[in-house]
Amino acid sequence: MQPVIVVYKPLPQDVLDDLRRHAQVVVCEPAPGQAREAFSVALGDALVHADGAIGASVKITPEMIARAPRLKAISTISVGVDNFDLADLTRRGIVLAHTPDVLTESTADTVFALVLSTARRVVELAEWVKAGAWQGSIGPEHYGVDVHGKTIGIVGLGRIGGALARRAALGFGMRVLYTNRHANETAERTYGATRVELSELLAQSDFVCLQVPLTPQTRHMIGAAQLRSMKRSAILINASRGAIVDEAALIAALADGTLAGAGLDVFEHEPLMADSPLLAMRNVVALPHIGSATHETRHAMAACAARNLIDALAGRLSRNIANPEVLAV
């Protein structure tokens, strides 16, 4: 008998067809206007008889997993795994697969787009032009700041951080500082990156880019004290997870001039509320969590996640496992 797979995020047709060649597929998608909570209940019901699941952007709780005794594997169409309780999945012997490689370059492109757009005030000035306000030569009140030759500080020099360092050093002649649990010898040798403590990185960098996963240790790692330690001319870029930054502290720092600007692709609560003070700030570029959102990359992520799940259910997955400890359970 074929395994039963629950799909809880829309997939490209060819990827869905591939899954159907290997399993019985149950598609669980939110109805138009359906609240997130209601969809979570529906998804929990669908998981009861499932052997595997594939999707993204939904919190999969231990309570949902407890109702799914047949579940052997989950494949998330993302690199981040903060929507899951890894310890609970591991204890139950459930493999969690993710897609850490295929989105690296596209996400690094997005990060650097935020660097450029905040430094050169691209979004603000584009809207100014569209509003018909451009009546003559611009003056200093509309100037941005240079990116080339500046110092970029990368908090977390993994795959995406390394791709960002390559763009910064080789493309824009930037000095690269980084913090990481382990030294990145390739980045040091190839891009001249220097590993420093977080306090030094914050104090010296013109652009601080956050590229760490969300864990209990990284939640709110950038708060009021850290923001005060940065240059007043500095720009903060966050395209990892919103809760790494204390959003209230960031809003205060941007409002009082402690920080020059911010480029944000992620927020503590998504979608960002329409009354968020961030949306009224001219020195903020806010994007709707588009880090990997290109046609090519999203298709590659879905295909990778589907293959991960097929292999996991067949007992042959040896890559892209977020909780490798499960193999010893």
How crowded is residue 248: how many other Cβ atoms within 10 Å of its Cβ? Answer: 13
Residues 203, 206, 212: CA angle, nearest 5 degrees: 75
95 forms bridges with which residues in the sheet? 73
Tokens 């969590």 correspond to 289
**CA 18, CA 12: separation in Å to the nearest integer?**
10
* Token pair recorded at residue 298: 């999203």
Neighbour-count burial for 283-320, b at 16+ CB within 10 Å, e otherwise = bbbbbebebbebeebbebbbbbbbbbbbbbbeeebeeb
The CA-to-CA distance between both ends of the chain, in Å, stands at 25
H or E element that contains 16: helix 13-20
Backbone phi and psi for residue 178, each to the nearest 5 degrees, phi listed first? -150, 155
Q: Which of 98, 195, 241, 307 is catalytic?
A: 241
Amino acid identity, residue 32? P
220 assigned to active site: no
36 assigned to active site: no
316 assigned to active site: no
Q: How long is the chain?
A: 329
Q: Which of 63, 127, 185, 270 is catalytic?
A: 270
How crowded is residue 48: how many other Cβ atoms within 10 Å of its Cβ? Answer: 13
Nearest to 138 by CA among 150, 152, 124, 149: 124
Backbone phi and psi for residue 230, each to the nearest 5 degrees, phi listed first? -85, 160
Neighbour-count burial for 169-200, b at 16+ CB within 10 Å, e otherwise = beebebbbbbbbeeebeebbeebebbbbeeee
How crowded is residue 261: how many other Cβ atoms within 10 Å of its Cβ? Answer: 23
Q: Which of 98, 167, 289, 307 is catalytic?
A: 289
Q: What positions carry a catalytic annotation? A: 241, 270, 289
